[in-house]
Amino acid sequence: MRRNLIIIFLLTAVSLHAIRQIDLVFISMPNEMFPFLAPEYRAALLSAAHEHKTDSIDNYFGKKIYVRQLTDNYLQMQVADSIIYDWLVKDSTVLFIQTVCAPQCHSKLDTYNFKWERQPDNISIPDCLSQDSLCFTQIIVEADSLRFVHSKE
């Protein structure tokens, strides 16, 4: 209950302009899945990014997290030199992608509903998440998830 009240407060504080679906998804994401920023810092970062004030914030470890791309349904953040996180809202599904590049980039994709309950991976995967973003070159089906090899177009 307290967490829900905090999230509602934060969403109100994100900005006075229209709340985007991607904002709701990112701010409400469980801390276990994105431990780098507390919800209040996520809200502050998105608010600043929407207003073009800044694209970064310090995480718990004193390292910068950068917003690389932000639209109404897509968010890409760089949390370390070789680690990128992507969120894509598609219909009522959240595609959550964790990417590590060392040196070739490999991504793990998981699908969730808006309550962050794991969904089956039986959705259509776009070739590219958005312009100037991840484009997949190879899909590897594993027992519990989908993994991708990709390149930047």
Whether the predicted pLDDT of 4 surpasses 60? no
Tell me the per-residue pLDDT of 49-78, one tens digit each, with 9 for 90 and over: 988 888 899 988 889 999 999 988 889 999
Query: DSSP class of residue 133?
Result: S
pLDDT for res 115: 93
Q: What is the pTM of this model?
A: 0.72
Handedness of CA 113, 79, 144, 135 (dihedral sign): positive
Residue 3 pLDDT > 80: no
| Residue-wise pLDDT tens digits, 85-138 | 999 888 888 989 888 888 777 788 888 999 999 987 655 555 566 555 556 655
Asked if 27 and 80 touch (Cβ cutoff 8 Å), the reply is: no
- Neighbour-count burial for 125-144, b at 16+ CB within 10 Å, e otherwise: beeebbeebbebeeeeeeee
Quick one: tokens of 26? Answer: 């990112």
Report which of 48, 65, 37 is spatially closest to residue 14, judged by C-alpha positions: 48
